[in-house]
Structure 1
Amino acid sequence: MTFEDIKTLLTGKFGEGVVLGEETTGLQKALLIKPDRIADVCLELRDNPGTYFDFLSCLSGVDYGITENRFGVVYHLSSIPYNTQLVLKVSIPNDRALDNLPSFPSVSAVWKTADWHEREAFDMVGIFFENHPDLRRILLPDDWEGYPLRKDYQEAEEYKGIKIK
């Protein structure tokens, strides 16, 4: 299936509003998906015999910067039998408050590998994944304050008496 075929498949299945846009200028074309439908879209792309995206090769949390106050997730999907790739992106505005994390549906029920990818995005960027089976820090200690890959992250001077800087 071509990029346009996949877009047509998704709009036919979920309605015109599920694909919010597309990016075609980069190295890989990407579909911008309505955030609350990402898990449904991923399940369809995995289970549909015409697409069969059986592998989530990468999931990355993104901080679009302090001026945009927007966070997102980028999903790199692969279909091993069809030798095709697809990029999906979701994003939402967020006020950057640490007690109000940006939130997206988890795709860990679609691909088991998303479990660790989502935990990393949670740990490093502070993105919450709804219905994740075990969302907790994966790289940093449980009591670490803040999210190091956020654009506004302020590195602490020390951690438990150990100088960091």
Structure 2
Amino acid sequence: MNLIFRLLAVAVAAIVAVLRGRRAGLLEPSTLRFRVWPTDLDINLHMTNARYFSVMDLGRADLTIRVGLGPAILRNRWQPVLGGATIRYRRSLRPFQRFTLVSRVLCWDDKYIFIEHRMETRGGLAALAVVQGAFVGAGSVIPPVEVLAELGTTAASPPIPDAVAALRGQSLSAA
């Protein structure tokens, strides 16, 4: 199935959920269910590495809409971007196999929001990724504190996990 159809399905479901009053909290996970389609496969007949990241884009879109950032993104003309990513592949995803993508905000600093993506199957964890993302508007990065203000919160970031410290290129003692 082409990603544009997946994106439309994810966006419509997330918008409907928000309109029905089922907005998610900032630190609540987003859970999406997918199936590996032939268009997701590489020459080895398992999901191609690049498709993992494309599906994770869908998880971030769902998360962004469900927490209520959709109107702010449109109003402010913000663009979501990634500044880095790390992924660990554990199991292959085979043709027509079902899997679940769980996406959640881990923490944030003065520039980036760090998100974890877990791709899970009945057999266990297939892939685990941590990405550092930001919103860009008018040529500059929007600080997470400004993004949070659009949600009506001034919440402090949860503690920075080891995986995020590694992605930032810092040890916890230097953070």
Output the TM-score relative to the length of structure 2. 0.29
More helix by share: 2
Q: Which has the higher contact order (CA 8 A, sep 6+)?
A: 2
**With structure 1 as the length reference, what TM-score do the two structures score?**
0.30
